[in-house]
Amino acid sequence: MKVQQINVPVPDDDVINITTFETQDSPQAVMDFYDDVLYYKNGWSAREVRGAEYVRYVYVPSNGGPVYGLSIETAVTQNKTNVTLRLYKTLPK
């Protein structure tokens, strides 16, 4: 997956980090990649899925530590997939 990162200011206190990038991969390929890395290899679970355009994952550590949420959004423009990742220290409201 070839990507180009674009920095975005973090807009609110619940968001730890926002990362945006463009890739030549399809939205489904992007979602498959994150599903493999987060769900299958690291124990995150998908909580809300809207096709290849949006998914929200949650990570609840077994040691009782903080809960994290990660939303992944895709949009296709000019034959590129724009991806936005938002990492939350709690689940999005």
Please, what are the domains in the chain?
Answer: 3-88 (3.30.310.80)
pLDDT value for 93 = 44
Quote helix, strand, coil % in the chain, to nearest 5.
15, 50, 35
**Which one, of 63, 80, 61, 82, lies nearest residue 72 by Cα?**
82
- In DSSP terms, 58 is beta-bridged to 45, 69
φ/ψ of 28, rounded to 5, equals: -65, -40
Whether residue 35 is predicted with pLDDT greater than 70 in this model: the reply is: yes
Q: How confident is the model at residue 1 (pLDDT cuts 50, 70, 90)?
A: low
Asked if pLDDT for residue 18 goes beyond 70, the answer is yes
Token reading at 41: 């290899």
